[in-house]
Structure 1
Amino acid sequence: MAANVEIYTWRYCPFCIRAKQLLERKGVAYTEYGIDGDHAARAAMSERADGRTSLPQIFIDGQAIGGCDELHALDHKGQLDPLLGS
């Protein structure tokens, strides 16, 4: 079964774009929350992400995994596909 993937982004954030590209290359459907300039949404994201405020913030099945670098690191270690249910 496919994982529930959520990603908080800013429209022109290069790290957000790279993270989404990796997910798209893997054929992963995700829910994107574009929070450009929305301070309340960023605060809610930070609360979910254990205080992290950088973007993107990525959640797989409700688990905060971090940002673009963490997503790519999981992929390089072969740990991303199992999380995604691939």
Structure 2
Amino acid sequence: MKPVTMYATGLCPYCVMAEKLLRSRGVTELNKIRVDSDAAQLQTMMKISGRRTVPQIFIGDFHVGGYDDLSALDREGSLESLLHD
């Protein structure tokens, strides 16, 4: 399984939903980076994703986007193959 990284905050309901969805698809190791407690990580997230909102999810080197993007990939059946390619 490819490594999964999620930039998140402590009080983000979409981050919680994204983590639940990833776990339900077999992700056991999730590199969760908190941007609310580390301004440098927030700057890094914005630089590599081009976005300011959380969550920002990366599967391997592929930038999925936020929860809505992750959920859309799951609905169309692409998430499983992305995780396991």
Instruction: Say yes or no: TM over 0.5.
Output: yes
- The runs of 5 or more residues in structure 2 that have no matched partner are none
Q: Secondary structure at the match of 1:78?
A: coil
Per the normalisation by structure 2, the TM-score is 0.92
TM-score by length of 1: 0.91
**Following superposition, which runs of at least 4 residues in structure 1 exceed 3 angstroms of deviation?**
none
CA distance in 1, matches of 2:25, 2:74: 10
Match of 1:3 in 2: 2
CA–CA separation in structure 2 for the residues paired with 1:58 and 1:25: 16
Matched length? 84
Could you say which residue in structure 2 is the equivalent of 1:85?
84
Listed as ranges, the matches of 1:1-86 within 5 Å are 2-28=1-27, 29-49=29-49, 51-85=50-84
Unpaired segments ≥5 residues, structure 1: none
1:38, distance to aligned residue in structure 2 (A): 2.3
Deviations 1:6-52 (A, max 9, x none): 00000110000000010111120211111214222111011111x11
Give aligned-pair identity as a percent.
38
